[in-house]
Structure 1
């Protein structure tokens, strides 16, 4: 039997779901739309939830700083649908009801000249993430998936080790991709080291 050709591109969502299925002894699938195979939809849901959890911590690849927050026609500033976290640069604004709220004036409405910027943490599609992030998310999701479906302590320890290695690689990537140090940005360094 001939082996399938090697795929030299970053893992896709389908690849990761198949790796989760293989971790519990299930056969891989050709598509994520497989009727009647409950494990596929569970694996995809856990992968999606894990991706949201990991990305919500804010990394170099999914955070924009000084991002302009445009005013809507009704005078409010809506939070973009795929924003996981919005931290306005002006401390008088906070997120409330998926809009920015001006705590100083106690209103959602801002003036026409208001130029509000914020640090925005985005929830990116799986294929938009760098390979290193996909691998970390896949390993973390694999541990959770196996724990929910099989519950084997031996597999749990094995998956935990693989997740730890992927997390270390992911953290190294962060340190290389951000130009921060302990003296110029201790808060940023603290965020990197206190992710889990």
Structure 2
């Protein structure tokens, strides 16, 4: 029984990037890969982090409660790309390494839990297909720039990248289902007494 199309895997993405310079595909992502594949894997990883840092429906956690440990410090998950205080939290906070820092009181110590909105960095195959496609195309264009630097030799055009980004943004909007009357700060300000 045929299963149909499946989303790109990380190996598929690396091979797509290698194919843009007519390089042979690889069979696995192990540490014993050729230099071109290693560079393609690194560009894919950094491009993924860059794209995900913007925050999308699939990697945003809103109202996430962080609790201090026995030393009164808040340890952050290792995949936090960005965060900001939200909810009842009155202090300004920042990520410093894998700990939360209180910018208001200039300390790593917290007496109570802190609520934040955070952006997580997800593994390639944990993301939806639209994100994988956009990241692959963007990474392939960066990879080609490092080898050739001439836009006329690109397998993917800027238009391909923009179309993939538009698809990703459209899916993000569909998920959020924004409402101009309820979500607009301007309209909310007008309704307050």
Q: Once the 2 structures are TM-superposed, how far is the Cα of residue 181 of structure 1 from its aligned partner?
A: 2.9
Structure-2 residue corresponding to 1:109: 109
> Would you say the 8 A contact 1:142–1:159 is kept in 2?
no
> Would you say the 8 A contact 1:140–1:163 is kept in 2?
yes
| 2:177 pairs with one of 179, 186, 190 | 179
Structure-1 residue corresponding to 2:45: 48
TM-score by length of 1: 0.84
1:73 aligns with 2:70: yes
- SS of the residue corresponding to residue 32 of structure 1 reads coil
Alpha carbons of 1:95 and 1:162: their partners in 2 closer, same or farther (altered >3 Å)? same
| 1:137 pairs with one of 128, 135, 155 | 135
> Would you say the 8 A contact 1:34–1:40 is kept in 2?
no
Aligned equivalents of 1:29 and 1:160: distance in 2? 26
Please give the root-mean-square deviation of Cα atoms over the aligned residues, in Å: 2.1
| 2:22 pairs with one of 8, 22, 25 | 25
Aligned equivalents of 2:184 and 2:76: distance in 1? 28
How many equivalent pairs are there?
A: 181
Q: Once the 2 structures are TM-superposed, how far is the Cα of residue 81 of structure 1 from its aligned partner?
A: 1.1
> Would you say the 8 A contact 2:100–2:108 is kept in 1?
yes
TM-score by length of 2: 0.85
Aligned equivalents of 1:161 and 1:6: distance in 2? 31
Aligned equivalents of 1:178 and 1:151: distance in 2? 37
Q: Once the 2 structures are TM-superposed, how far is the Cα of residue 124 of structure 1 from its aligned partner?
A: 0.4
Moved more, 70-79 or 134-143: 70-79
Aligned equivalents of 2:63 and 2:161: distance in 1? 33
Aligned equivalents of 2:120 and 2:54: distance in 1? 10
Deviations 1:129-179 (A, max 9, x none): 001100000010010001101223213484312111101111111111112
> Would you say the 8 A contact 2:63–2:115 is kept in 1?
yes
> Would you say the 8 A contact 1:133–1:170 is kept in 2?
yes
Q: Unmatched 5+ residue regions in structure 2?
A: 186-193
